[in-house]
Structure 1
């Protein structure tokens, strides 16, 4: 797979170390998440990659070329800060101004407005837009120059649930066009739903880089309930199938061991043979959130 971005040992020190020796690759056509809490180095990383912040050490390559020159920037669409449009001008007029700056033909304006679902509102002035619509117009402006890569810094920040879903759908539709997308977010749920790959940052350090589905590629756990939960609990604890068995409220959570392959129907059959009849049985996978918390906990233990 072709790399559109390769980051090698990137470091930025202010009064403290904001980004500490991070390395990762971004392959064409995927959606990457830069995940971490506020202050973990996401915006600083983007600043360096777009040449608005000078690195202390390290280097990066866009499309095989070292650094970020003006020609490279023409291939990248980015929203790093809050949308900055003229409040008393229409969406269309605002995009015409952006098109003039970028040297992009006006014909792209209707296309990008349709992409973000604002074509019907193109004559409306910017100040009448909701926060979600303003964010969608910002994405439209970043798409004007038909970029190969789209960079979005916290694209759903401050939005209500409906606005978050709209942005998520727009990002998915843009990704289907083959555009590589890099999203910075502190929201695990957002990364899990949108991204194919994730780079996890903690206090400027990269603690995981890889596919989202590999990060959540655990055997999962069963959630069970029976009329006699205490008997069920002791049978599960005696079995060799689970690494841990805990009672959580009315349900028992049984974590499947790494070396065990066990379906819900097979477990139900084994328990029935022992005289246990379940009123509830579901097999679940750990969420990205659980994986993330374990990852952070492990790095704390090693620190």
Structure 2
């Protein structure tokens, strides 16, 4: 698969180290999340990759070419700050101005407005738009130059639940067109719903880079209940299939070892052979939130 972006040992120091020697690759056609709390270095990383912030050290390569020059920027669409349009001009007129600046034809305007669901509102002035509509117009403007990569910094920040869902759906539509997308967010739920890959930042360090599902153990866990929970607990521990077995109220939770493959039916059969009959059995997968918290907890800061 083609590598769109390769980041090598990128560092930025202001009064303190904001981005600390991070490295990761972005492959074509995927949706990547840059995940971390506010102050973890996400916006600074984007600033360096777009050449608005000078790095202290390190390199990056867009499309195999070192750094970010004017020609490279033509292949990238980005929303790093709040949308900045003329409030008393229509959506269409605002996009015409952006198109002139980018040197792209006006014929793209209706197409990008259709993509973000604003075609019917193209004659309305920007000041009449809700916050969600303003963000969608910003995404439309970033698509005018037919970019190969779209960079979005906290695209759902401040939006109501309906606005968040609309932005997610738009990102999904754009991704289906084969555009590579990189999203910075502090929202775990957003990354889990939108992204295929994630780079996790903690205090400027990249502590994980890879598939969302591969952040930590993807084996999952079982929830179980029986008439004799004490016997069930002892039997589960004896099986040695689990990293941990804990009681949570009336439910026993058994975390599956990474090197073990066991189905709910297989476990049920094994327990029934030992005379244990379950009144509750469910196999579940850890949420990204749980995986993220475990990853951050278990990764010391240098």
TM-score in terms of structure 2 length: 0.96
Partner of 1:149: 149
Secondary structure of the corresponding residue to residue 298 of structure 2: helix
User: How far did residue 216 of structure 1 move?
Assistant: 4.8
Return the offset for 1:274. Answer: 2.9
Alpha-carbon contact 1:6-1:24 (below 8 Å) kept: yes
Distance 2:107 2:216 in 1: 43
Distance between the aligned counterparts of 2:145 and 2:188, measured in 1? 30
The corresponding residue for 1:297 is 297
What is residue 276 of structure 1 aligned with on the other side? 276
Q: Which residue of 2 aligns with 1:169?
A: 169
Deviation track 1:151-180 (CA, whole Å, cap 9, x = no partner) reads 000001111222111111111110111111
Alpha-carbon distance in 2 for matches of 1:239, 1:167: 46
Structure 2 distance, partners of 1:174, 1:88, is: 28
For residue 51 of structure 1, report the CA deviation from its aligned partner.
Answer: 0.7
Q: Which residue of 2 aligns with 1:222?
A: 222
- The alpha-carbon deviation at position 214 of structure 1 amounts to 2.2
1:51 is matched with which residue?
51
SS at match of 2:292: helix
Question: What is the rounded CA distance, in whole Å, between the counterparts of 2:227 and 2:165 in structure 1?
Answer: 40
Inter-partner Cα distance in structure 2 for 1:63 and 1:202: 27
Cα deviation, residue 273, structure 1: 2.7
Once the two structures are TM-superposed, the CA of residue 259 in structure 1 deviates from its matched residue by 2.5
Residue ranges of structure 2 left out of the alignment (5+ in a row):
none
Q: Work out whether residues 217 and 258 of structure 2, in 8 Å CA contact, stay in contact via their aligned partners in 1.
A: no
Aligned counterparts, 1:6-85, within 5 A: 6-85=6-85
Instruction: Tell me how large the CA RMSD over aligned residues is.
Output: 1.4
Using the TM superposition, name which of 63-72 and 107-116 deviates more.
63-72
The farther-off stretch of 55-64 and 225-234 is 225-234
Q: Give the Cα separation in 1 of the matches to 2:210 and 2:105.
A: 38
Deviates more, 1:78-87 or 1:282-291: 282-291
Q: Which residue of structure 2 lines up, in the alignment, with residue 121 of structure 1?
A: 121
Deviations 1:3-46 (A, max 9, x none): 11111111111000111111111111111111111100000000
Residues 241-252 of structure 1 mapped to structure 2, 5 A cutoff: 241-252=241-252
Instruction: Say if 1:40 and 1:202, in contact at 8 Å, map to a contact too.
Output: yes
3-state SS of 1:38 partner: coil
CA positional deviation for 1:217: 4.9
Write out per-residue CA displacement over residues 269-290 of structure 1, whole angstroms, 9 at most, x where no aligned residue: 2222333322221101112222
* TM-score normalised by length of structure 1: 0.95
Rate the CA distance shift 1:124–1:216 in 2: closer, same or farther, 3 A.
farther
Is 1:253 aligned with 2:253? Answer: yes
Measured in 2, the distance between the counterparts of 1:95 and 1:252 equals 57
3-state SS of 1:78 partner: strand
* Partner deviation per Cα, 1:210-243 (whole Å, 9 max, x = no partner): 1222225521110112233333223223332222
Aligned residue for 2:114, secondary structure, equals helix
